Amino acid sequence: MQMDLRTVTIKPQRQTFDHIARRIGADKAATRYQEGTLEVQATHNFHYRPTWDPDHEIFDASRSAIKMADWYAFKDPRQFYYGAYTLARAKQQETAESNFDFVEGRGLADTLPAELTDTVLKLLLPLRHAAWGGNMNAAFITAYGYGTALTQPCIFHSMDMLGIAQYITRVGLLLGDDVEVLDTAKQSWMEDSAWQGLRRYVEDCFVLKDPLEVFVAQMVALDGLLYPLVYETIIDNVLSSKGGTPIAMLTQFMTDWFAETRKWVDATVKTAAAESAENKTQMETWITHWRDRAAAALMPIAQIALGAEADAITSEVVDQFNARMAKAGVSL
Amino acid sequence: MSKVFIALQTNDDTRQIIQAILADNPHAICNEQPAMVKIDAEGSLVVRRSTIEELIGRDFDLQELHINLISLTGNVDETDDELTLSWNA
Amino acid sequence: MDMKVGKKKLGLKEKYQHMTRGLGWETTYQSMDDVFPFVKYEGIKIHDWDKWEDPFRLTMDAYWKYQAEKERKLYAIIDAYAQNNGHLNVTDARYLNAIKLFLNGISPLEYMAHRGFAMTGRQFPGVGARVACLMQSLDEIRHAQTQIHSLSNYNKYYNGFHDYRHMLERVWYLSVPRSFFDDAVTAGPFEFMVAIGFSFEYVLTNLLFVPFVSGAAYNGDMGTMTFGFSAQSDEARHMTLGLEVIKFVLEQDPDNLPIVQQWIDKWTWRGYRVLTLVGMMMDYMLPKRIMSWKEAWEVYFEENGGALFKDLARYGIRPPKWLDQIEQDKDHISHQAWATFYNYAAACNFHTWIPTDDELDWLSQKYPNSFDKYYRPRLEHWREEAKKGNRFYNKTLPMLCQTCQIPMIFTEPGDPTQICYREVDYKDNKYHFCSDGCKEIFEHEPEKYIQAWLPVHQIYQGNCFEEGVDPTAEGFDPLSAVLDYYHLAQGRDNLDFEGSEDQKNFEAWRGMATKNAA
Ligand SMILES: [Fe+2]
Ligand SMILES: [Fe+2]
């Protein structure tokens, strides 16, 4: 039997699943982001309470002080579901790969002024531990947050942080000639006074219990100050002007990643704060608290590259951060 | 000896990979099923990069296997050059 | 992705080792016990997380690269399949019911696996273990979404898919797979790993994804074949993670052995019970069959599982408990399950039917010890009754097993004519079980299993009616009211395949295709 199925025009019985149609209307086809995100997480009739947290359901909105009438009010402006996310990152890793090839192939690492190489190793390498902490904090929200709209970007974020830790490792191994640079950096992370503020900050995040507070501490405050300060300002501007352009090439992934990810972070802050006066107050309290701590923790690190200028440049970054938050509806 | 196996999708990319695996493992038995092939072998089975590269005429990263891999059993040992599956008993 | 240290090119193992080298640290500003609060309460003792061996060493850049390639291929096929009305290529419309079961019963588990591995990844202090768990968490959201996206096209044309998220939390039979995963994620991180990473992934998922998905291909369903095998391509990593966890935990401390053994016993049994649904899909719901459930069981459980447990014997692990019963059951459970769903076809969101004569003969041949003797006559009797206009629909609610939540349909080991019942008195209540396995699992953790949201109990307690429904009103039809609560479109989603809207539509649409080609 010959069949030409392409020529058959059949009227669909329905455009999408009912739980999506109840939100967007039954007459519209849904996007892959919508079908892969909306209400995917279970909400009702759980069978057992967690043995590790009997006071809550498996997924439980009351783990957070932030209250939402609808947890799917959160939206990722990038519309990342797994496929879209992976394709975006695959493209970025291709760029990163050719950047590494370029720098390695031309021996550009050897052409860097020794002083600059030293600064980069001191500044950048301990940050692999901070990224590892970010991986853990994002995993926490993925695990215990409420609603796929919020938790899904967090698993992406978590793995991005691991990717960043690995890119930093590669930079270190490329510049440092020996794997011992990793051990040295870890020692700084554990013991050098310049790093203790940041390490304490990260460890304090590890024991937070509210997924939205972790979001504020990690994605909003820490990422929101660290990436503009270290990657956009110190590496892309200050060090590049001193002959460090190859370094900026090797960390392009981080710069691009932050420019993209902050859109999701801003949207999330905005949605949470716009929900109610209580949420807004809570967000403001958290953001103020963690911003101040993050800025203080980053200052001695900025000094590694900026010396006396660290103060002024950090406060500029904080000003930009405040402006960014104001746009998201949070006045600090 | 227990058997290990590796199962791959059958498509254009895997034809030569399957050929390479069978060439490197004369004791293996190839089991064709709809859309897939399951290669069983007593004791252990090795997938060798060099054999695949010879057949496909380009560089091959063994991690590319994952794209068309369906399943496997046994303890896995993966290096740049070989992927070995084996049971200890 | 070549990588060098200074001038030296690194090998895969070395490279990966550096990539994770020393990333984690002993916290000092907060105690390790506060940072990893769940890692001790199950009694598992870990002395050195650095002894963890990574079986696959995938850095994130390689992960993104290869996974993107898989995704590109997969979505190209999904798109082509939708544009070309690929669904009309399936052998016959009865087949669609197997994938209804898939979307309703299995895809939501993929999502739970995603969250469960995120929890576990967050809780493990070891770097290697955490990376492997989180990578699996990321893969599992992939599986959930690629399945939803693939099956979305079927939902546009066929019934029974339309409200799977709502139904998952309510419909009686869906509490079986759901409670299985709820059980796993409410356990501690190590038990979760043994439950899902090892028992489910390593020992059981091959049965679901390999022969069934190959069967989908055989039945012309390239969509399901593609997402099925594409998901399975991540599975090699997951399975080796499951095996690595077991080896690692057992090597860390001899005290871990009895705990792990008890988990292996429990979770093999739990998983095995859930797979009853897959057995039925393979034996009854694929119009063209490649392999019976029993054959698949022999290859993927007895042969592979046998090899695995022989390998693990060096750690003192013995094969899971109740294997003697499982061994006998392979001749029976798919038939017992199909009979149940045939009975309860009014309360299901997929259709059932009596197999054709050819299919009955196939079953007779594949199950020489059981089918003709116990199951064929019953099916033929129901067929006769249906011909006379008495299609049998059971309207009495079944008693459910407190542990696996399957109705009491399984038979006594050694006597396929006797339904197996077990019971336990606990705190002034009587609890019922389908088997010694389920009973023992309950007795080990009664406080957990008494919480179960048993669909039949919930109906009797009046918790399964839509808001505003008055059960005391005259002419109140409880079954119909429950189906409303399920959001089940009565007369469309449920009842026999014969005469269903799906059957008629499929025939009409296929007719259009053949006419156009003439
Ligand atoms: Fe999966
Ligand atoms: Fe049971």
Chains A and B touch (3+ CB pairs under 8 A): no
Q: State both tokens at C394.
A: 């059971």
- Chain A residues touching residue C134 (CB < 8 angstroms): 135, 139, 155, 158-159, 162
Q: State both tokens at B41.
A: 């072998």
DSSP B9: E
The confidence score (pLDDT) of residue A1 equals 47
Under the banding of pLDDT at 50, 70 and 90, the label for residue C197 is very high
User: Nearest CB to C232: which of B3, B71, B75?
Assistant: B71
Chain C nearest CA to A197, separation (Å): 10
pTM (2 decimals)?
A: 0.96
Q: Which of B78-82, C229-233, C427-431, C498-502 has the least mean pLDDT? A: C229-233
Q: Which residue of C has its CA nearest to A99?
A: C1
Contact across the interface for B66 and C215, Cβ inside 8 Å:
no
Q: Is C235 on the interface with B (CB under 8 A)?
A: yes
CA neighbor of C280 nearest in space, from C232, C224, C330: C330
3-state secondary structure A70-125: CHHHCCCCCCCCHHHHHHHHHHHHHHHHHHHHHHHHCCHHHHCCHHHHHHHHHHHC
Neighbours of C384 (CB within 10 A): 11
Predicted confidence (pLDDT) at residue C1 exceeds the cutoff of 60: no
Which chains share 3+ C-beta pairs under 8 angstroms with B?
C
Q: Is C510 on the interface with A (CB under 8 A)?
A: yes
Rounded CA gap, C510 and A3, in Å? 8
Domains, chain C, with CATH or none: 12-469+476-509 (1.10.620.20)
Q: Structurally, how many domains does chain B consist of? A: 1
The confidence score (pLDDT) of residue A2 equals 52
Q: How many CB pairs under 8 A join B and C?
A: 98
Contact across the interface for B72 and C209, Cβ inside 8 Å:
no
Question: Percent of chain A having pLDDT more than 90?
Answer: 93
Q: Which residue of C has its CA nearest to B71?
A: C236
Domains, chain A, with CATH or none: 12-37 (no CATH), 82-327 (1.10.620.20)
End-to-end CA distance of chain C: 53
Predicted confidence (pLDDT) at residue C9 exceeds the cutoff of 70: no
Average pLDDT taken over every residue of chain A:
96
Rounded CA gap, A297 and A319, in Å? 16
Element (H, E) at C379: helix C376-387
Q: Which residue of A has its CA nearest to C153?
A: A16
Under the banding of pLDDT at 50, 70 and 90, the label for residue C518 is very low
Q: Cβ distance C62 to B64 under 8 Å?
A: no
Predicted confidence (pLDDT) at residue C55 exceeds the cutoff of 80: no
Instruction: Kindly report the backbone phi and psi dihedral angles of residue C262, in degrees, each rounded to the nearest multiple of 5, phi listed first.
Output: -65, -40
Task: Kindly report the length of chain A.
Answer: 332
Chain A nearest CA to C513, separation (Å): 5
User: Nearest CB to A204: which of C4, C30, C131?
Assistant: C30
Judged by DSSP in three states, B48 sits in strand
Predicted confidence (pLDDT) at residue C114 exceeds the cutoff of 80: yes
Q: How many CB pairs under 8 A join A and C?
A: 276
**Helix spans in C58-174 (H):** 60-83, 96-101, 107-123, 127-157, 164-168
The confidence score (pLDDT) of residue C7 equals 52
Under the banding of pLDDT at 50, 70 and 90, the label for residue A260 is very high
Average pLDDT over residues C121-150: 96
Chains C and B touch (3+ CB pairs under 8 A): yes
Portion 482-501 of C in contact with A at CB < 8 A: 487
Chain B nearest CA to C302, separation (Å): 11
Going from the C-alpha of C54 to that of each of B75, C187, C195, C254, the distances in angstroms are 11, 24, 20, 22
CATH number for the domain spanning B34: value is: 3.90.56.10
Q: Cβ distance C398 to C336 under 8 Å?
A: no
Tens of pLDDT, residue by residue over A13-59, are: 999 999 999 999 999 899 999 999 999 999 999 999 999 999 999 99
Ligand closest to CA C233: 1
Average pLDDT over residues C150-158: 95
Looking at the DSSP assignment, which residues form a beta bridge with residue B4?
B41
CA neighbor of C57 nearest in space, from C128, C9, C114: C128
Average pLDDT over residues A245-255: 97
Rounded CA gap, B71 and C452, in Å? 34
Under the banding of pLDDT at 50, 70 and 90, the label for residue A98 is very high
Q: Cβ distance A273 to A328 under 8 Å?
A: yes
Residue with the larger pLDDT of the pair C304 and A262: A262
| Ligand 1 midpoint to CA C141 (Å) | 8
Average pLDDT over residues C496-504: 97
Predicted confidence (pLDDT) at residue C469 exceeds the cutoff of 50: yes
Q: How many angstroms from the chain centroid is the CA of residue C272? A: 9
Predicted confidence (pLDDT) at residue C402 exceeds the cutoff of 50: yes
Contact across the interface for A86 and C108, Cβ inside 8 Å:
no
DSSP A264: H
Predicted confidence (pLDDT) at residue C121 exceeds the cutoff of 80: yes
The confidence score (pLDDT) of residue C6 equals 54
User: Nearest CB to B80: which of C11, C55, C311?
Assistant: C11
The confidence score (pLDDT) of residue C202 equals 81
Portion 97-136 of C in contact with A at CB < 8 A: 108, 111-112, 114-115, 118-119, 121-122, 127, 130-131, 134-135
- Per DSSP, the residues of A271-314 read HHHHH-HHHHHHHHHHHHHHHHHHHHHHHHHHHHHHGGGHHHHH
Q: Cβ distance C142 to C67 under 8 Å?
A: yes
DSSP C355: P
Residue of C233, C303, C308, C318 for testing the chain B interface, max B β-carbons within 10 Å? C233
Going from the C-alpha of A267 to that of each of A73, A270, A332, the distances in angstroms are 10, 5, 17
User: Nearest CB to A18: which of C67, C121, C163?
Assistant: C163
**What is the extent of the structural domain holding B37?**
3-86
Q: At what angle do helices C205-218 and C222-252 cross, to 10 degrees?
A: 170
| Ligand 2 midpoint to CA C105 (Å) | 17
Strands (DSSP E) contained in C299-390 are none
Tens of pLDDT, residue by residue over C340-382, are: 999 999 999 999 999 999 999 999 999 999 999 999 999 999 9
Contact across the interface for C235 and B78, Cβ inside 8 Å:
no
Average pLDDT over residues A206-228: 98
Q: Which of A137-146, C16-25, C40-49, C405-414 has the least mean pLDDT? A: C16-25
Chain A nearest CA to C353, separation (Å): 23
The confidence score (pLDDT) of residue C8 equals 61
Q: Is C49 on the interface with B (CB under 8 A)?
A: no
User: Nearest CB to B78: which of C55, C234, C308?
Assistant: C55
